[in-house]
Amino acid sequence: MIALLRRDLMLAFRAGGGFGLGLAFFLIVTVLVPFSVGPQSDLLSTIAPGVLWLGALLACLLSLDRLLALDFEDGTLDLLATAPLPLEAALSIKALSHWLTTGLPLVIAAPVLGVMLNLAPAGFIWVIASLALGTPALSVIGTFGAALTVGIKRGGLLMSLLVLPLYVPTLIFGAEAARRGAIGLDGTTPLILLAGITLGTIALMPFASAAVLRMTLR
Partner 1 sequence: MSLWEYANPVKFLGLSARLQPYLWAAAGLCVTVGLVWGFFWTPDDFRQGSTVKIIYLHVPAALMAINAWFMMLVTSLIWLVRRHHVSALAAKAAAPVGITMTLIALVTGAIWGQPMWGTWWAWDPRLTSFLILFLFYLGYIALWEAIDDPDTAADLTSVLCLVGSVFAVLSRYAVNFWNQGLHQGTSVPVATGGRTVADVFWYPLLISMVGFGLLFLALVLYRTGTEIRLRRSRALLARSRGDA
Partner 2 sequence: MALCIQGVAVARGGVPVLSGVSFTVAPGTALILRGPNGAGKTTLLRTIAGLQPPLSGRIDGAEETIAYAGHADGLKAMLSVTENLTFWAQVFGQSDIDAALAAYQLDPLADRLAGTLSAGQKRRLGLARLMVTGRPIWVLDEPTVSLDAQAVAMFAQAVTAHLAAGGMALIATHIDLGLNAETFDITPYRAQPEQRSGASDEAFL
Q: Judged by CB under 8 A, does residue 68 bind partner 1?
A: no
Residue 141, CA distances (Å) to 38, 52, 93, 116, 125 in order: 34, 19, 13, 30, 25
The whole-angstrom separation of Cα 179 and Cα 184 is: 9
Nearer to partner 1, 18 or 174 (CB): 174
Q: Judged by CB under 8 A, does residue 95 bind partner 1?
A: no
Q: Judged by CB under 8 A, does residue 54 bind partner 1?
A: no
For 187, residues 6+ apart whose C-beta sits below 8 A from its C-beta are 126, 130, 176, 177, 178, 179, 180, 181
Nearer to partner 2, 69 or 163 (CB): 69
- In angstroms, give the least distance from the CB of 150 to partner 1: 10
The whole-angstrom separation of Cα 200 and Cα 202 is: 6
The whole-angstrom separation of Cα 63 and Cα 35 is: 25
Give residues in contact with partner 2 (CB under 8 A): 2-4, 6-7, 10-11, 14-17, 71, 73-76, 78-85, 217-218
Residue 84 contact, options partner 2, partner 1, none, Cβ 5-8 Å cut-off depending on partner type:
partner 2
Q: Judged by CB under 8 A, does residue 165 bind partner 1?
A: yes
The whole-angstrom separation of Cα 99 and Cα 101 is: 5
Nearer to partner 1, 80 or 205 (CB): 205
How many secondary structure helices (H) and strands (E) does the chain include?
Answer: 10, 0
- Pick the closest to residue 60 from 7, 110, 122 (CA basis): 110
Q: Judged by CB under 8 A, does residue 58 bind partner 1?
A: no
The whole-angstrom separation of Cα 196 and Cα 179 is: 19
Residue 11 contact, options partner 2, partner 1, none, Cβ 5-8 Å cut-off depending on partner type:
partner 2
Nearer to partner 1, 45 or 216 (CB): 216
- In angstroms, give the least distance from the CB of 6 to partner 1: 30
Nearer to partner 1, 61 or 212 (CB): 212
- In angstroms, give the least distance from the CB of 103 to partner 1: 19
- Pick the closest to residue 80 from 1, 15, 24 (CA basis): 1
Residues that bind partner 1 (CB under 8 A): 144, 148-149, 151-152, 155, 158, 161-162, 164-166, 168-169, 172-173, 176, 190, 193, 197, 205, 208, 211-212, 215-216, 218
